[in-house]
Amino acid sequence: MSTRKCEMKLIGARGSPFVSRVKLVLKLKSIDYEYVEEDLLNKSELLLTLSPAFQKVPVLIHGNQPPIIESLAIMEYLDEIQPHNHPLLPSNPSDRAQCRNLAYTFDTLLYTWMKEFMVTRDEARREELKQPINGGFVLLEEAFVKFSKGKPFLGGDDIGYLDIVVGVFLGWLKLYEKLFNVSFIEEDIHPRLAEWGKRMWSLEVVTSVIPTQETHMEFLNMLRALLPPLPDRAS
């Protein structure tokens, strides 16, 4: 990044896939920015001021504009201010709407299940979650056929909006294999997703923003620390 003062500032936390989304877009579009690390267990006055309602990262500050929260909103903002430098969304309005719909579905359903799978203290609940998560990845396999149109990425010939939305969670999937001995992308069930995952891992621009397994573990421990305490057992 440039040594001159940047107009753009990203407030983030190591290990957050949502922050990784924004970092990847900034890299793909070669946008200079200043990064500010946030401690989510001891939130700064800056974060509480910029995002008083949600108090979460990422937050993007661009010049004197109001802060932008939510990774999907930030991604679209960056795409709109630099539409010709590695465009993320397709040009067709219907295709753009379909991309947004899938991204929303991923974040509200599949991500929610994946997060609970990772942080739950209830092993029976973790086992239950395998079914909806597996179903979600079957739907993603079908979506890959629809959106890629026979090309290497969900975005076509190059990384696009949906590749970023889903791809930053590849690190989580590796963590699941290590911690829980479970794989949610299987070559015999999800052949296109499996090949896509290999392509994503082969790209330095992608691996440079996906946290290490050690950082993922730190983030997992932080998420678990934010859980409410277990109720006292009756004596």
| CATH number, residue 131 | 1.20.1050.10
Here the CATH number for the domain that contains residue 25 is: 3.40.30.10
56, 81, 106 — which closes off a domain? Answer: 81
* Residue numbers of the domain that contains 21: 8-81
Residue 1 lies in a domain: no
- Give the phi and the psi of residue 87 in degrees, each rounded to 5: -60, 140
pLDDT of the chain, 235 residues: tens digit per residue: 444 567 999 999 999 999 999 999 999 999 999 999 999 999 999 999 999 998 999 999 999 999 999 999 999 999 999 999 999 999 999 999 999 999 999 999 999 999 999 999 999 999 999 999 999 999 999 999 999 999 999 999 999 999 999 999 999 999 999 999 999 999 999 999 999 999 999 999 999 999 999 999 999 999 999 888 766 554 3
Instruction: Give pLDDT, residue 1.
Output: 45
Residue 45 lies in a domain: yes
81, 112, 133 — which closes off a domain? Answer: 81
Residues near 17 by beta carbon (within 8 Å), at least 6 away in sequence: 168, 169, 171, 172
Is residue 129 located within the same domain as residue 203?
yes
Residue 87 lies in a domain: no
Residue 168 lies in a domain: yes
Q: How would you label 95-116 residue by residue, b for 16+ Cβ within 10 Å and e otherwise?
A: eeebbbebbeebeeebbebbeb
Instruction: Give pLDDT, residue 186.
Output: 96
Instruction: Give pLDDT, residue 230.
Output: 65
Tokens of 181: 């001995």
Instruction: Give pLDDT, residue 67.
Output: 97
81, 113, 136 — which closes off a domain? Answer: 81
Is residue 71 located within the same domain as residue 106?
no
Residue 133 lies in a domain: yes
Is residue 218 located within the same domain as residue 117?
yes
Residue 232 lies in a domain: no
Residue 196 corresponds to which amino acid?
Answer: W
